[in-house]
Copies of this chain bind each other. A is one copy, B any other.
Amino acid sequence: MKSSKLDMPNCEDCQNKGGVFSCLSKQDKAILGEDKGNNFYKKGQVIFYEGNHPHGLYCIFNGKVKISKLGDEGKEQIVRISGNADTLGYRSLLCNEPYKATATAIEDSYICYLSKKKFFELLESNNTLCLNTIQLLARELRQSEQQLVDITQKSVRERIAEVLMQLKGKFGTKPDGITLDIRLTRREIGDMAGVTTETTIRTLSDLNKEEIIHINGKDIQILKPDQLHRIANIED
């Protein structure tokens, strides 16, 4: 499954807008890329499992990955969906503890791999990277805490609307400007909102009937983003 050295993606080409490494200089990025690996993951393939010990850092060159936790009765909760230039598993790596969530490719993805050693070397030598990492963590913590409040206090309808808005914000739309540039199963949308598949279907169906969104199989078009935003009851 490993790609050849020839088509190895280049760190300098990586579009890591808000990622940890966005602060690095071209030179540092070159150093970063020296001994990295790159793997291809087919849709549905698992990158790492909850409980595994991390030995390095994953960085998505191209593709989409869901990070999920398994509850007691086999129910899945999607913690977040990562896309281009996002890093995976750095939280566990930093804490030096086993992964607390499972990462699964939700589309065919090329994912780079950086050794633990290299990452920590960089972190210890580069104070800016360190402060950047702090900011990234702090922002994710904020998001996670907000999500906690949302999920306890919002209705299913609000949560589903919020998930749709989040997806639009993170992955944007296809060239038509309204179709979400990510295709999830109803189950996955439900697993993001903490809702059963059936209720998710019914809720999406309602929004469809109200012509706030338009459903075409796995393609979802956001027809009235303002209204959806209002339904989602987003404060920030």
Residues of A at the B interface (CB closer than 8 Å) are: 69, 71-73, 75, 77, 79, 91-92, 94-95, 97, 100-101, 123-124, 127, 130-131, 133-135, 137-142, 144-149, 151-154, 194, 233
Contacts and interface: CB of A to CB of B under 8 A. Distances in A.
A77 to B, nearest CB: 5
A123 B72 CA distance: 40
Contacts of A140: 141
A91 B153 contact: no
Contact of A130 (B75, B127, B145): B127
Copies in the complex: 2
A193 to B, nearest CB: 9
The 7 closest A-B pairs by CB, nearest first: A152-B194, A71-B153, A137-B137, A144-B144, A94-B138, A95-B138, A77-B149
B134 A94 contact: yes
B77 A148 contact: yes
A148 B95 contact: no
Contact of A146 (B100, B124, B139, B146): B100
Given A71-B152, A77-B152, A95-B138, 13 more contacts: A69-B149, A77-B149, A79-B145, A79-B148, A91-B142, A95-B135, A100-B142, A124-B131, A130-B134, A141-B141, A141-B144, A147-B148, A151-B152
